[in-house]
Amino acid sequence: MIDYKWSSYPIYAYAKKCPDWLSTQVILSYFKGPNKHKQYREKVQRYAKEEKRLLENLHHGMILGAKKFVDKIRKQFLPDIPHNDFPQQKQLAKDINIENLLKKSAKIVQIDIDKCVQAKRLHGIDKHKRDLIVYVLWNKGLMTNEKLGRLFNMSYSAISHCVKSFKDKMNKDKKVKNQFEKLNSQFKL
């Protein structure tokens, strides 16, 4: 099916570019979990008794293996911040579980993450801790300001302001810079 020119299988199974007239949401909504395309592909392969292709487990154009192995290699060999000249590194960084990263950050700086997300305005130490987490996530380059804003219940322009303010604080106060470096060092992506 993958080789048939008019098949929608590559779109459903491998998330290939979808034509405007094809709506994949209905069929993919039957699958639960983070990778609906993979679940679809495996179900079709079981039904058709089709064997997996060797390169289906090639992750990000550079690592062949199961998720556990990929995570081990990522932790051991990849840099904290993806290099701009290597799109595979950026793609690999996008597979990071942001929720876990957020929870771990909140635990390290000792703040209730739900309070950060739900509060319309934060003040004092809570605002500083939230801004520190926002800056660390922004600095990793894993999300756009818009996505960060959705994560923290803020507008993308508020994220821009938060990042700029935090950068200014770091330039003026070595203690703030040390807090950033300490938190940032906890995450090897």
Residues of the chain with CATH 1.10.1750.10: 98-184
Give the span between the Cα atoms of 103 and 110, in whole angstroms: 10
pLDDT in tens, 11-29: 888 788 888 888 888 888 8
Q: What is the mean pLDDT of residues 142-160?
A: 85
Q: Which of 75-79, 146-150, 169-173 is modeled with the greatest confidence?
A: 169-173
- Which pLDDT belongs to residue 62? 58
* Each residue's pLDDT tens digit, 67-79: 788 777 767 766 5
Helices (H), the chain: 9-14, 25-28, 36-48, 67-77, 87-94, 98-109, 113-118, 124-140, 145-152, 156-172, 174-184
CATH number at 98-184: 1.10.1750.10
